[in-house]
Structure formats: structure tokens, C-alpha cells
Amino acid sequence: MASELDTGKNPRTWRFTWEAQSHVPSLKLFLFNLEGESCLQFKNLKVDLLLEQSLLTVCWFEGDEVSIKYSVPIPKVLIDTEYPFHVKAMDDHIEVRLVLLLPVDDPILTKFEYGLTLEDGESPRENVPSDCFGQLLMGSDFKDLSSVEGGVTFHCRNCSTVLTKSIKFFVEMPSSDWSEVADNWFGGCCCSFGGIGEKLITKYASSYSCTEGKCLCHSAFVVLNVHDFVGCTFPTGDDDESQEETQDPDLVNHINHVNEDLTGHVNGFSESGLELCSTSCCHSEMTNISIVQKSKETVNLLVDQKSFLNGFIGNIFMLRSSNITKNVQWKEFSCPNCSSFLGAFPCSDDYRQVSIDGGIRLFKCSVSTCQSVNRSKDLFGKYTLQRMFTNQLLESAKDELSFRTVIRNLQTMPIVLQLILFNPNIWYATGDCTDFGSYCESIGKLDMMPAIKVLFQDYSGGSESQLRLMEEWVKKNEADEVFMMCQQLKELIRCLEFSSDIYPPSHSSLQGLSLSLLRK
């Protein structure tokens, strides 16, 4: 957006930001100077609406002559022209308030945009494309991936390097709360159905093992076997002794017995509807412990597998504390060509770094399903780290009833980022006034975008005393805790800092925390 300067002076660098609240029929404009110039010096301020041109003009007069005139594009809204708009010059910005006929997120506006009409008794949201409201709706994308003729090849989003073979078989991953559901249904104690809940979870998760030629679909990532990658080298552990050779024979028999016992429990439950645990259950568990203690290697193997179970069905994009275990370490996976961060894989050994389940997690915001020249056909094109994080942060706030969150480095565990959800439902549009000349031909394309407003503080370079105070803040406020990979955190902080200057300085901080927006 560009400025019109009637004098021969160099144009000042000005920015505009439109802001509206969800379900509220009003619109606010912030117009401010990026160089910190005070707006109180401008006298005889005049604002005009040029609805035919979708423009709002702001003028300063010196006597009878226009000193400066800026043109700001109006977003796609319905302005109520019968109500006067309010204009006020503040210390560091000019504020304009408009009244709307309908809130910016009213579904009727979307109906108009898509040329749809409402039938009698029809809800305004019916027959409207699911993503036309601007908010990312994260799904497994299972159906879209499965419908691609000839299979799907995954690429690095940054450099378009081919990462995998063509994949034709897709499976949805189990729910992350499957363990809790099973425990609630069957009971977690060994004397309640013989611990059948835990056994069912293990059996269920193993059925979704990461095998060659199969892609596991999660809402935030996909999992592919290491053998499905091209141009990438992974430690596989194939040269090590086989698992059966290192296991105690008695333990192998016990594992087979557990599988048979599980099958019996499932069959018995389905046939009779109820099956009580035998008194030998607890004795069996004690016997199991004594057998496991016979082999240190086997103990480590079983601990790794059991510990990994929660991580396997958890969400590595934003891992919860309940899925954290010291026996599983997550390693970053980068593009072999441009070194861009693409995902992660779990391992149990710093030295060998072999994926425990043979799978690599590719984040949807980092990969594409087509070459860059065909970006419109990319099934993951709507995903960005910012939007994925916002989507899951809102889910977490809803589930945990907490608007305070700290994000820890998954690999080192210290607090890196403090977040307070300030407003979960706003819409905005922003731009630099100095670019308006190149924008004149596309005035009508200015859209209001859904976002959340957050307060944040970066602790990546914090001192020991600062981190100690933050730990106390977490306990005092019962803040929610999530864990992310180092490269994810760097990108998230960059997004927060980049969006922190879309408001004037007087609106960019609160109680020592910076204010920013994140796209939904």
C-alpha cells in the first residue's frame, strides 16, 4: 500500500492494521508511523470513505492546503454508512472506528462471496466450503491422500527435493487418548480384567506399526518407514544381533503367553460380555518381573518399547508431558539437499540413533505432496507451523481450561517460550502504506484473516534466575506445559516477533510481555 504525498518531501513510512472482534459488528483501524513519529502534531485531521473505490483516505491540512494524504484499502466488510465513524489522533497512532451491518465472521457474508443463496430453513453455514472461514481445520487428510491416483510422493517444501517413493497405502493413526479410554473402560489394575486395558493398547498400537510401503496419517504429521525414503541414509541397526537372539528364551515364551492371554480376554469379553480375572493374575505379574530381571538387555528393550508406546500415539508436533519419557529421545530430521527441518524420529540411543519403530515423522507444514511449480495441488498447502500451532494451542486451552502456556525444548527440557492467550477470536488485515501504488489494481482482494492475540516472552537466552522465576510462575498459575523441537521453537518465535509490530507501540506490550498475533 502506498502513500500519496502532495508535497515534494519523501513519504513517511506508515502502516495500517484493521482489527475486528468475532461476532461484534464494529471495525477499528490503527494508522501509525513506523519511525515513531507522534500523531498529536497533525492538526485538521480529515477522514473520508470512498466506498466505490474500497478506500479510506486520511488527510492533514496546513491552512487550506493538503499537507499529507494517505489511502488505506477497506477490507471485505459491510459498513453501516448511517452511523458516523469516529476519528481520534493518539500519541503514536490515529484510530478510526466504523460500525458494520454484520460482524466480519458472519456466515451470510461467506454465502454472498460464494454466490450461494439461503433456502427456507437452511442454516447459513450449510453448503459453505469448510475452509472458507479462513481457519485451518486440521484433519488426518487420509481420504485426500488415498484418492490420489498413482500414489503420493512427498517433497521438501523449501527446495522441492523428492524425499520418498510413491506411497499408495494410507492408514489413520490411533487417537492420542486411546490409552485413557481403555483404562476407563476396562480399569488399569491387574485385578480388573487382568490389565486387559494395557494389553489392548499395546496390541492396538502394534497393529499400526510403521512398515515399508505404508503411510500413517496424523492430523499434524505423516509417518513413513525409513526404507520408503530416497536420497536419505538412516541407521537401521540391521547389523546388530537380532532381537530374538538377545532375548532370554523364558521371556520369549512369556511374551507369547501374554499375546495368547490377550486374545482370550478379547474373545471372552465379546462372547460373555464379562470376564473376571483369575487369582493367578497378580502371581503372573510377579513371575513376569522375576523373568525380566534375568536379562539386562531384555529389560532395556522392553522399557524402550513400553515407554515409546505413549510417544507413539502422542503428537510429536506438540508433545504433552504425559507422553514424555527419558527412555525415548526425539531426533530432528532435515532435508538431505537444503538441510531444512522436516520432522523427527524417536530413538533410544544417542550413539546409534536408530528409529525405534523404523518410522520418520514428517510435519505437514514442512513437506508438500507435489513440486513447487504445482503448489495449488499440494494437499498440505494450507498447513503452516504458525497455523498448526494456533490450532492445537486453542484445543489445549479448551481441554485444559488454561490460557497460560509454557513451551519447553523437547531435547533439553528448559522453558523457551511463555504464552498467554489474550484473545482467541479476532480478525485482522495489515499492510504498509508505502506499498499502495502496487496494490491499487487489487484493492478488492484485502481479506480479514482469523487470528489469536497472545502475550509472549522469549526465554531462549534467559539467565538462571529468570528461568527459576518462570518455573515458579508455572507452578503458581498451574500453566499448561507442552514440548516442541528446537527448530520448531525458533520458527515460532520468529513468527511471534514478526507479527509484534502490526500494532502501534502503545498497543504492543502489556505487563512486560510483548503482544502479537498468530494466524488460525
Percent of the chain with pLDDT over 90: 38
Please tell me the predicted confidence (pLDDT) of residue 439. Answer: 44
Across 37-41, 199-203, 308-312, 395-399, least confident range? 308-312
Name the average pLDDT for the chain.
Answer: 76
Q: Tell me which of 207 and 421 has the higher pLDDT.
A: 421
What's the Rg (C-alpha) of the chain? 28
The domains of the chain are located at 142-377, 385-424+450-519
407, 416 contact by CB (below 8 A) = yes
Q: Is the pLDDT of residue 473 over 90?
A: yes
Across 71-80, 285-294, 308-317, 347-356, least confident range? 285-294
**34/12 Cα distance (integer angstroms):** 8
Per-residue confidence band for 4, with pLDDT thresholds at 50, 70 and 90: very low
> pLDDT tens for residues 321-345?
877 877 788 999 999 999 999 999 9
**298/177 Cα distance (integer angstroms):** 28
Please tell me the predicted confidence (pLDDT) of residue 180. Answer: 59
For 69-77, what is the mean pLDDT? Answer: 86
Q: Tell me which of 224 and 67 has the higher pLDDT.
A: 224
Contacts 24+ apart (CB under 8 A), 114-123: none
**489/341 Cα distance (integer angstroms):** 12
> pLDDT tens for residues 183-237?
665 555 555 555 666 666 666 656 667 889 999 999 999 999 999 999 888 766 5
Please tell me the predicted confidence (pLDDT) of residue 227. Answer: 94
Per-residue confidence band for 20, with pLDDT thresholds at 50, 70 and 90: very high
Nearest CA to 418 out of 450, 460, 388, 387 is that of 460
Q: Is the pLDDT of residue 466 over 70?
A: yes
Conformational region of residue 488, where left means phi above 0, alpha means psi within -120 to 50, and beta covers everything else: alpha
Please tell me the predicted confidence (pLDDT) of residue 457. Answer: 96
Please tell me the predicted confidence (pLDDT) of residue 195. Answer: 61
Nearest CA to 364 out of 310, 313, 314, 317 is that of 317
> pLDDT tens for residues 107-156?
877 666 544 444 444 444 444 444 545 778 887 788 999 999 899 999 99
Q: Is the pLDDT of residue 411 over 70?
A: yes
Please tell me the predicted confidence (pLDDT) of residue 222. Answer: 94
Please tell me the predicted confidence (pLDDT) of residue 12. Answer: 54
For 258-282, what is the mean pLDDT? Answer: 42
Q: What is the DSSP string of 389-413?
A: HHHHHHHHHHHHT--EEEEEETTT-
For 162-167, what is the mean pLDDT? Answer: 96
367, 154 contact by CB (below 8 A) = yes
Q: Tell me which of 268 and 158 has the higher pLDDT.
A: 158
Q: Is the pLDDT of residue 470 over 50?
A: yes
Please tell me the predicted confidence (pLDDT) of residue 259. Answer: 45
Please tell me the predicted confidence (pLDDT) of residue 207. Answer: 60
For 39-56, what is the mean pLDDT? Answer: 81
